[in-house]
Amino acid sequence: MERTPQTLERFLSGLSEGWLQSNEGEGTWNAHEVVEHFIEAEKHNWIPRVESILFEGDKHLFPAFDRFSHLKNISKRTVEEALQEFGSIRMKNLSKLKEFLQSTSYLEKTGLHPEFGIVKLRELLSAWVVHDFTHMAQIVRVMAERYRTDVGPWSAYLGILKRN
């Protein structure tokens, strides 16, 4: 999980606006917006929910998280600035997590998800990891979209261009 910001930094930092602003059509996110979503999730989703499980238990609902909050205030900063914030908040959150997880038995502790009901800490932490993967793959897919027609007949062999 400490690799995600570094990997994205290597992939995105310094790219032209053409790459950073291309998306998959109306209502879809570009690469910079995905990075802003990562930051919102670091601030308002993962650690607050870990704390809810550890300190409140499954009698209290998880704090709310708006998956679209980063779109309300599309920041005017560059993607490099966003990547830097993502890197620093991720490292901070991982240290917090290490502090919290003093015993592996904590992994079985439960919280109350507004939709799923009772969930375990270990499921939340796994979801955090796979959430990274989901949005890394999304960024790569968004980039590929830009070349959809340019590849000509090769689209048949380039799996990433198959629409879900």
**What is the binding site for a copy of itself (CB under 8 A)?**
3, 6-7, 9-11, 113, 116-117, 119-120, 122-124, 126-127, 129-131, 133-134, 136-138, 140-141, 143-144, 147, 150-154, 157-162, 164
Nearer to a copy of itself, 9 or 51 (CB): 9
Closest distance to a copy of itself from the beta carbon of 76 (Å)? 25
- 3-state class of 142 per DSSP? helix
Nearer to a copy of itself, 103 or 152 (CB): 152
Closest distance to a copy of itself from the beta carbon of 3 (Å)? 6
Residue 102 main-chain phi, psi, to 5 deg: -75, -15
Query: Residue 34 has which token pair?
Result: 């995905």
| DSSP string across 80-94 | HHHHHHHHHHHHHHH
Nearer to a copy of itself, 61 or 151 (CB): 151
Closest distance to a copy of itself from the beta carbon of 113 (Å)? 7
Residue 71 main-chain phi, psi, to 5 deg: -85, -20
14 vs 3, 20, 41, CA distance in Å? Answer: 19, 10, 24
